[in-house]
Structure 1
Amino acid sequence: MTDPLSFALSVTWRDGLEIGIVALVFYRLLAFVEGRRALQVLGGVVVLLTVYGLANWLRLTMIRELLGLLFTYGVFALLIIFQPELRAALAHIGQVPVTKLLRREESLGSREDEIADAVERLSRSGVGAIIAIEREVSLDEYLESGSSLEARLTTDLLATIFTPYSPLHDGAVIVRGHQIVGAGCILPLSQGSVSSRSMGTRHRAALGLAEETDALVIVVSEETATISVAEGGELRSGLTPMQIRDLVLGNPVRVSERLGDRTGEWRMPKGTG
């Protein structure tokens, strides 16, 4: 048996570097799939691997062969099914503190105030809206479905875009830094759960984008004037404009309500102000 002290002394800096890299990659992947449908599939794979191990130990040849074929061809099927998640996961792994530090300057302006004021105005007027704020993962592919813009982000412009009968009001606005880079954009609808399919189109679109990217997506309901946010594959309802401001800044916000739970949620009554 190897002496623990001798083993510890034999570990080189390269071994430590390899362990650190592998740990970082696994941490990023686990943090990304948390709460997503990929986590459910991962649980299923673990169960199948356990059954395969038992079949191999008990020498159950037929089960072992069938699971072996499933693993061989199932990998290709998973690559196709989870292509959006894999793309977003790779981008998530590439996020490093240096990148965040370089982008921190974008938060020093009044972007969060412009967005919070616009959301409050839209909610007060009962105007539906969906605003996607780009983070690390690029939203360029969704810009192709709408109108490309290079306009400075302002409260008035956001309110104008979502005005009823405006040609761009039905789609999503995409915000990059301090600019509105797209309007009238079509976002992917969430297919993650039965409950998500009972939501309105705007909420499903917001959740769909949050499942595939790290974007912060803000939704104002046309029917109830309530404010919701999709982030990290989850949709939270009943936020205030001040909470929206904090989220845009990157500050954590505690919101107990989920979509469908109306207890205590903030609303701006129509005609007030």
Structure 2
Amino acid sequence: MSLKMSSQALTSGVQYIPISLEESISMKGCRHASHCLLYTSANSSRVVYGLIQLTDNGELGCPGGQVDVEDVTVDDIIDATNRELEEEINYHLNGVTREDWICSHREDNPPYIQHFFAKELTVDELTQLERTHMNAQHFPSESLGLFRVPIGGSDKKFMTNFLRQRFAGNARQQIIETIEKLSLVSPEDQVWMESIESTGDLLVDNSVVNSGIEVKALLRADLDVQYNDEEVDITYGLMAVTDDGLFDFIGTHYTESDDKNSMIETLITSLDKDLCADWLPIDCKS
């Protein structure tokens, strides 16, 4: 059983029809867009990790954008993909090639074709990109950042919750087709991933009962940034993707005491473990 790469995908009421790369460039009057999943499989845990982007409208996807060329060619699509990777996430490594193409889909109203590539990185390359992507030209006007997602593994709760989040366009289907084409998970897990509905209740482990007071923090900063050619002040907050595929505040922990100083001490200890970096101390006024 395959992941239905030849079938039509329906996402958010829009029908995405599979099409070959060569056939797509023969269609006149269509707009094109292209995106790319950057991933690594060379690590001691043998789990594949991919970099997922938070878009400027709050949806999940992969970096990429429009192919601003009429009478587009395959080279135009590849060039546009590499340009968008540089502009959105500061990617300057080996560029995408024809061999990295995964799939293309068209939608008819209006005529629009979306292409998808996947590029494998080393662990060091992926880690470095995590550290430097915020230096990109179009951060944060088009990209609000990248985060690492484990693909596969023994715990299916993460991917179930992750695939039920809101994705931009048909990014969810593109990621699933990438997993199949590159055999990033076992055949059994491929079938299981395709069976996950794009919408549905998120899985929460109600068997885990945490006693005490929940303590967490929103770490934020006011920054001057370039947004659509204007310098504006924006407040940014940090959130974490938990090991069960949900979004939460950093440093979430439980304490038995309702004393403010005790709660702050507990939170600081938790933040030290989560961030592994120097940051400003928290006081009661925060």
TM-score band (shorter)?
Answer: under 0.3
| Structure (1 or 2) with the greater strand fraction | 2
| Structure (1 or 2) with the greater helix fraction | 1
Kindly name which structure, 1 or 2, has the bigger radius of gyration based on alpha carbons. 1
TM-score, L = length of structure 2:
0.26
